[in-house]
Amino acid sequence: MFKLTRIYLVAITYLQHTDPSLPHYDANTWTFARGAAATIDREFGFIGRHLLHGIIETHVLHHYISTIPFYHADEATEAIKPVMGQHYRSDVKGGSFGFLKALWTSAKWCQWVEHSEDAKGEGKGVLFYRNRNGLGIKPRKMAAPTTTASFHVDMN
């Protein structure tokens, strides 16, 4: 039973922080607000709502105000949605089955993070998920490394 619980906790944590739409930030671009918004609310049906007190369904709020009691989390989540606007993310389709589908999708799409092609200015510090399956935004084309660099050691 304990092993199954650990598997669920790892899957839940993975899905709260992994989605093809979630940005990641380098050290120069990251701020607390950006980092807190880089999460997603998921739906886990009866188990998530009643046994886990909605932490899966109200995780974005948890990143901003971790001390809010679970019995006010749904109401507070509704209050932050208009404030966050397009930066609020949720995937609540399908309940527990949707959660399993999201697990499959994220594992297939989200394998590493990389800069976006043609990023300019501060956007250079925003990274998105890439994968070896060719899904999602194409990685930026990197110049091939040159081998013309040399050095000389003076022994005198």
pLDDT tens for residues 88-120? 999 988 877 888 899 999 999 998 888 777 777
Contact 42, 22 (CB under 8 A): no
Q: Cα(109)–Cα(13) distance, rounded to whole angstroms? A: 17
Angle between helices 2-17 and 95-109 (to 10 degrees): 70
Tell me the pLDDT band of 145, cut-offs 50, 70 and 90. Answer: very low
* Residue boundaries of the structural domains of the chain: 2-130
CB proximity list for 72: less than 8 A, separation 6 or greater = none
| pLDDT over 90 (residue 147) | no
Mean pLDDT of 29-37: 91
